[in-house]
Amino acid sequence: MANLETDFVGIKSPNPFWLASAPPTDKEYNVRRAFEAGWGGVVWKTLGSEGPPVVNVNGPRYGAIHGADRRLLGLNNIELITDRPLETNLEEMARVKADWPDRALIASIMVPCEEAAWKAILPRVAETGADGIELNFGCPHGMSERGMGSAVGQVPEYIEMVTRWCKQYYDRPVIVKLTPNITDIRKPAAAARNGGADAVSLINTINSITSVNLDTMSPEPSIDGKGSHGGYCGPAVKPIALSMVSEIARDEVTRGLPISGIGGVTTWRDAAEFISLGCGNVQVCTAAMTYGFRIVEEMKRGLSAWMDEKGHASVADVVGRAVPNVTDWQYLNLNYVTKARIDQEACIKCGRCYAACEDTSHQAIAMKPGRVFEVIDAECVACNLCVDVCPVEECITMVELASGSVDPRTGRTVEDAYANWTTHPNNPAAVTAAE
């Protein structure tokens, strides 16, 4: 069977599934239950300094976006970092690590952007035996108004400065957690690397307001008639997370920087996608909050079975395998030709493909008598919209035109199109040859 053990910047764990810094890792009770359920590691909920106390709201802390079937698609939270005493958290971390030496235990930290504050807390964290620290430069709400969280993560100079302090006063791995609330994720990642970070983790939550109560005219969750922006997470943010991870993995400056992937990981397939784009492990939060800690068993089984099927002996064999296939738009082969094909036996005649294509796309699907839907090749641009709106999986597929076929839209054969592509200025191979 595939080996799920990972060695992430020297931090070993029995599998790549870690719980992210969040309510599920807020206390010893939760973390012990997580380890008993089979999680490979946890990032303890973010610790603060012993300065002014952190006080969370006593009303609703979460808002949600649901699908039509009430499946949770996105979760918005306005909860702050831990409001439990620092000493209590440190004592619990030490006990858990002593009892579970084979599991990864990371301390997430957020203190004021002052060298003295970091110098004071790091030795105390080190005494717990934690395997490393994660610098929380991502939270977009509450703490950012105090000059921490994403307020630091949005300024590369601050990231580099604080990372240098941590590398100076702490002798174990330093992971920098990046905020997605920024235009170019490569810049904070480069700053973390310049500061000596051992790895980065991303994405943290996205600044958001998920809904407005139209009776009280206040954002949800509502606290005494008022609402605030919060952090958005869950399956809905996965595409954003994958894109940002890929940008770091393939950038010349940050390529090779170890990455812990976060953002909507709900299934083993999600995890495999993050790993294929360069992540050494993944962190999970919303899925655990939705389905409970036991979900990790399904994730482990699924990932192991897929790795066996594909012949991957270890997680390390998968890391980054998809990165070479991520490119910029101008390098896509514009002469690659596919057409939609409808499986008439699988078709349930709902007409969604026809309505979508006729009203909003290229009028490339005809409705014949008896509600039989057929693709008009001469109009089909292979946009894939019909595939995406069809409720029957694999009823509609995109099929590449075979060698010698004539594209009815252009009147050219596939060979002619490919011949043009070999000299096309968008083709990186052609550009290299010309140079």
Per-residue pLDDT of the chain (435 residues; tens, 9 = 90+): 799 999 999 999 999 999 999 999 999 999 999 999 999 999 999 998 877 777 677 767 788 889 888 998 988 887 778 888 999 999 999 999 999 999 999 999 999 889 999 999 999 999 999 999 999 986 765 555 566 666 787 889 999 999 999 999 999 999 999 999 999 999 999 999 999 999 999 999 888 888 899 999 998 888 888 878 878 889 999 999 999 999 999 999 999 999 999 999 999 999 999 999 999 999 999 999 999 999 999 999 999 999 999 999 999 999 999 999 999 988 888 878 899 999 999 999 999 999 999 999 999 999 999 999 999 998 999 999 999 999 999 999 999 987 777 777 777 776 665 556 556 666 665 655 555
* Cα–Cα distance measured from residue 418 to residue 325, given in angstroms and rounded to the nearest whole number: 19
Residue 285, domain extent: 6-325
- The answer as to whether 269 is a domain residue is yes
Phi, psi of 12 (to 5 degrees): -90, 145
What is the reported pLDDT for 97? 98
> Are residues 253 and 346 located together in one domain of the fold?
no
Asked if 139 is an active-site residue, the reply is: yes
What is the reported pLDDT for 200? 98
**E strand or H helix at 356:** helix 352-360
Taking Cα atoms as reference points, which of 323, 317, 306 lies closest to residue 268? Answer: 306
Angle between helices 238-250 and 186-194 (to 10 degrees): 50
29 within 8 A of 44, measured Cβ to Cβ: no
C-alpha triplet 49, 52, 54: angle, nearest 5°: 80
* Cα–Cα distance measured from residue 282 to residue 265, given in angstroms and rounded to the nearest whole number: 8
Taking Cα atoms as reference points, which of 388, 391, 364 lies closest to residue 377? Answer: 364
DSSP H stretches of helix in 84-155 = 86-99, 115-126, 150-153
DSSP state for residue 330 in the 8-state scheme = G
What is the reported pLDDT for 147? 60
Cα diameter, the chain: 77
- The answer as to whether 175 is a domain residue is yes
> Are residues 376 and 403 located together in one domain of the fold?
yes
Residue 150, CB half-sphere, CA atoms under 13 Å: how many? 21
Please give the C-alpha separations between residue 412 and each of 335, 336, 398, 407, in angstroms, as whole numbers.
Answer: 10, 12, 19, 6
Please give the C-alpha separations between residue 74 and each of 62, 64, 136, 322, in angstroms, as whole numbers.
Answer: 10, 6, 21, 26
What is the reported pLDDT for 87? 95
18 within 8 A of 282, measured Cβ to Cβ: yes
- The answer as to whether 271 is a domain residue is yes
* Cα–Cα distance measured from residue 412 to residue 420, given in angstroms and rounded to the nearest whole number: 11
22 within 8 A of 44, measured Cβ to Cβ: no
Phi, psi of 201 (to 5 degrees): -130, 145
**E strand or H helix at 315:** none
> Are residues 319 and 381 located together in one domain of the fold?
no
* Cα–Cα distance measured from residue 85 to residue 328, given in angstroms and rounded to the nearest whole number: 48
**Out of 139, 233, 279, 357, which one is annotated catalytic?**
139
> Are residues 271 and 300 located together in one domain of the fold?
yes
396 within 8 A of 339, measured Cβ to Cβ: no
> Are residues 249 and 360 located together in one domain of the fold?
no
> Are residues 25 and 164 located together in one domain of the fold?
yes
Tokens in use for 433? 């040859």
> Are residues 319 and 372 located together in one domain of the fold?
no
> Are residues 412 and 337 located together in one domain of the fold?
yes
Give the end of a domain, one of 280, 299, 325. Answer: 325
**E strand or H helix at 177:** strand 174-177
Please give the C-alpha separations between residue 39 and each of 35, 42, 300, 375, in angstroms, as whole numbers.
Answer: 5, 8, 9, 48
DSSP state for residue 331 in the 8-state scheme = G
> Are residues 34 and 173 located together in one domain of the fold?
yes
Residue 425, CB half-sphere, CA atoms under 13 Å: how many? 0
- The answer as to whether 314 is a domain residue is yes
* Cα–Cα distance measured from residue 172 to residue 97, given in angstroms and rounded to the nearest whole number: 15
Neighbours of 388 (CB within 10 A): 11
**Which CATH number belongs to the domain containing residue 406 in this structure?**
3.30.70.20
- The answer as to whether 1 is a domain residue is no
> Are residues 353 and 310 located together in one domain of the fold?
no
* Cα–Cα distance measured from residue 266 to residue 255, given in angstroms and rounded to the nearest whole number: 26
90 within 8 A of 44, measured Cβ to Cβ: no
Q: What 3-state DSSP class applies to 18?
A: strand
**What is the domain count for the chain?**
2
Is the pTM of the predicted complex or chain greater than 0.85? yes
DSSP H stretches of helix in 127-183 = 150-153, 156-169
Give the end of a domain, one of 325, 355, 386. Answer: 325
The identity of residue 252, as a single letter, is E
- The answer as to whether 416 is a domain residue is yes
> Are residues 315 and 338 located together in one domain of the fold?
no
Give the end of a domain, one of 279, 296, 325. Answer: 325
> Are residues 77 and 101 located together in one domain of the fold?
yes
**Which CATH number belongs to the domain containing residue 33 in this structure?**
3.20.20.70
